[in-house]
Structure 1
């Protein structure tokens, strides 16, 4: 870790705790800043705040009072989940107080080069593939960000021998200043999180921030099949490595005669890849581009692609029960992710879907439901999804209370050879704290079902 003095004796407000807030406050305290933490959760229920208080950090809990800014803070480190419309944040912006996210701190202290991955879909799978390929090649990777340990915690332990592989959300990328990954990867760009960003333009700008500070000595791996995305990153100074699943690229990563090719070099036959689905080919091409830049050999790449079964909660095979294969795609929190999951299967599908109502409809899902023989729906969006199912001509549509109840119902609606797919197309927050919890409950229900048969 770099022992920087940028924050020494500065009054800094860490806004919002969770893992990233605790890590940021701890790091800044160690770097000599005068840290105040402000979290909405009451102090008596807030073990994280209590732990920081014991370290000598000032803690204010229960709300985000705008008048707190009268104390003269020079910097705010904001939890990515707190919107910029929050009254305290809005006041800070008017006052001209710089606002960053924890990823900026991680970058400033890291001795290791960073490979940063963002995009609307495929971030987690691409991040995991890159990490595993680097690991197979003995390049000492460390994984961080949304996918695992908070980036600044990992950066504190990283050395120049490591490669930090970091999954980045648009929320995090809105709060960067100097942040500059050596390799930036953008998997794709679709409508997502518009309830937070307000407009597609704001969302796209946030994603493009991953290459904002890159120089000619850095690299940008980008989806060449999306013209709009290419326009958003056209200002980038980084060396561009495009990838495409739709056309052959002489300079870049693409598919020719059923084989993945990197700048004319054949890497692997697509038939040897274990990970299912056309959408995963995008992730694979992006990962190959990133690791080839740092010198990973083809044997390491091939080994990972022949053995990697998928990220947990992302089109993850759970188990087979009397000929029905159950897949957990709980991380599909938007329509596009569910579209991709449905395209991965040729077998008849019983689809489990539903969740938080963000105000959108599901018309865009209708063309992808042709292979769905039955819908099992739950959560706030169940009625909207039923409308989409009827438009697609699905005759069997069942409403249940939750994911746990959906599993045995889906089993009885299916036959040997069918796929039972949890791919909600919605966030989990109406019923479950995280999509991981939703996915775990699904997996547990599948295992109980198998034991009962």
Structure 2
């Protein structure tokens, strides 16, 4: 590791090296180089720590002036940051400071329009995603299962990780969900043994993580679950969104399994340039997988990979029939990793699967016999539709609301899609900044059950308590972002759970 001295005019020079303990043969592969980290959320902080562990000097940027300095974080103390190897710059950004760094690593939350990143990419500067920066240093023997999609990716990743864990295969689960991939790479660097810490990395990948094309992130199995209007304030059009999602199939390792949802026009077009890189299989068609939700059976038919089998899903205890699809995709994906598993080995895992928090999560059953379900992660109409269809055999009080997403430059009015699944339920309660819009849309399109308007989530829950009857379900599946009232969907879900427990 070398000391990097930053002068007021943005120039820098390297001083004599500082010795740190090497924990693996690749510990110091960036010795003598300087790396800029853009965006200091969870991914950026993990990338900064990984860069220091690889021997680089780090210049860390974030426009939020209220963040703490990395130099003062105990997590970074072990890296000798007091010698000038790490400098954090918050608030106003001076682009000239990037002139003297060898690499720029970008957190997924940072649009390419910020920090002059688009210009840097055109200039030929080495600009990398956090995902690619981590993958560069991961042992090549680790098999990567990468999952993306507008909805369902966290659940599929969680199910795949649980299956592998139950089958005693050492697995890292993270990426856009939980721990960043840089954390996995850091753990591998800290292992004194030459044997990798993990056999498999199951990685959730957001479209933001693929805006910068990856070079080193090479999945053995890649999955694109679905594509519906979301994040268009960043991707502009559905075509651009699809192209970004299908970058997951680029640089695939040994042309292994690529799973793609069947019947989406934009994805069908975007995948064409990757057909020579993957063994393409379909979610919902042949070759690929099909689900019979009545018989609760998944059928797998991929002759090119020697996979022709069925998986019984009847033992699943997770709520919602859509989770049959999530479990089947997870099962086929880990079989495709070629780590010595077949479909038969996965059968006993099915009853042990549990979804991640805030995804059709059963919170409690209260003293009145009402079950409370938290689906706060349903931040768009399509996710809510899926959840409602999975519960159509039981009466529910449905909570919809928050901040509606922007589609094609205006606030989405797509809640008319919910008319059909809502007819099976007791009533709908709308709340939040888009509550009036949602209620009007449902009414104008012939909603056949009562709708009630509440000011906020707490008021909506109070109304739901009065409307629910013994044996009913109260389902929070908002179909909207949470930022009108909460920090994020997790915060919204936790508040809902607290309100639910107060009824227990």
Query: What is the aligned counterpart of 1:404 among 458, 463, 466?
Result: 458
Quote the offset at 1:184 in angstroms: 1.0
Which residue of 99, 113, 128 corresponds with 1:85?
A: 113
Q: Deviations over 1:352-397 (max 9, x none)?
A: 1212243222333334332243222222211111112313425633
Give the aligned length: 445
Output the CA distance in 2 between the equivalents of 1:372 and 1:98: 54
| Structure 2: distance between partners of 1:6 and 1:234 | 36
Partner of 2:35: 12
Between stretches 200-209 and 223-232, larger displacement belongs to: 223-232
Corresponding position of 2:239: 201
Cα 1:132/1:286, change in 2 over 3 Å: same
Q: Which moved more, 1:351-360 or 1:46-55?
A: 46-55
Q: Tell me if the contact between 2:238 and 2:266 (Cα under 8 Å) persists in the aligned partners.
A: no
Higher-Rg structure is 2
1:63 aligns with 2:92: yes
Which residue of 315, 330, 334 corresponds with 1:287? 330
Cα displacement (A) at 1:49? 5.8
Matched-pair contact (CA < 8 Å) for 1:313–1:330: yes
Which of these residues, 379, 382, 389, is aligned with residue 432 of structure 2? 379
Corresponding residue to 2:477 among 407, 423, 437: 423
Instruction: Identify which of 330, 344, 357 aligns with 2:376.
Output: 330
Q: What's the CA shift for 1:140?
A: 0.9
Q: 1:202 to 1:8 in 2, by over 3 A?
A: farther
In 2: Cα distance, 1:5 partner to 1:204 partner: 38
Q: Report what 1:254 is aligned to.
A: 290
Task: Specify which of 9, 34, 52 is matched with residue 57 of structure 2.
Answer: 34
Once the two structures are superposed, what CA deviation does each residue of 1:274-323 show, in whole Å capped at 9, x if it has no partner?
33434323322211111112332445422222232422111111112223
Relative to structure 1, is the Cα distance of residues 105 and 311 closer, same or farther in structure 2, using a 3 angstrom cutoff?
same
Q: What's the secondary structure of 2:43's corresponding residue?
A: helix
Match in the other structure for 1:368: 421
> Does structure 2 conserve the Cα–Cα contact (< 8 Å) formed by 1:66 and 1:91?
no
2:352 corresponds in structure 1 to 307
Distance 1:413 1:330, change over 3 A: same
The residue number in structure 2 matching 1:123 is 153
Counterparts of 2:197 and 2:277, CA distance in 1: 21
Q: Is the 8 A contact 1:2 1:110 kept in 2?
A: no
What is the distance in 2 between the residues matched to 1:390 and 1:48? 52
Distance 1:155 1:254, change over 3 A: same
TM-superposed deviation, 1:447: 0.6
Which position in structure 2 is the counterpart of 1:140?
A: 170
TM-score (norm: length of structure 2) = 0.81
1:432 alignment partner in structure 2: 486
1:241-291 superposed Cα distances (whole Å, 9 cap, x missing partner): 52444x5x3x43224665222237443334333334343233222111111
Cα separation, 2, equivalents of 1:172 and 1:153: 16
Q: Which runs of 5+ in 2 are unaligned?
A: 1-23, 189-195, 302-306, 406-410
Report the alpha carbon displacement of residue 194 of structure 1 after superposing the two structures with TM. 0.5
Range with bigger deviation, 103-112 or 122-131: 103-112
Q: Cα–Cα, structure 1 residues 265 and 182, in superposed 2: closer, same or farther, change >3 Å?
A: closer
CA distance in 2, matches of 1:374, 1:137: 43
Query: Are 2:397 and 1:353 aligned?
Result: no
* Residue 319 of structure 1 pairs with residue 358 of structure 2: no
Give the alignment's TM-score, normalised by structure 1: 0.90
Partners of 2:184 and 2:107 in 1: how far apart? 17
Secondary structure at the counterpart of residue 296 of structure 1: coil
Deviation at 1:173, TM superposition (A): 1.5
Q: CA RMSD in A?
A: 2.5
The corresponding residue for 2:193 is: none
Partner-residue secondary structure (3-state), 2:398 = strand
Unaligned runs of 5+ in 1: none
Mapping of residues 145-294 of structure 1, within 5 Å: 145-158=175-188, 159=196, 161-175=198-212, 176-226=214-264, 228-236=266-274, 237-240=276-279, 242-245=281-284, 247=285, 249=286, 251-255=287-291, 258-263=296-301, 265-293=308-336, 294=338
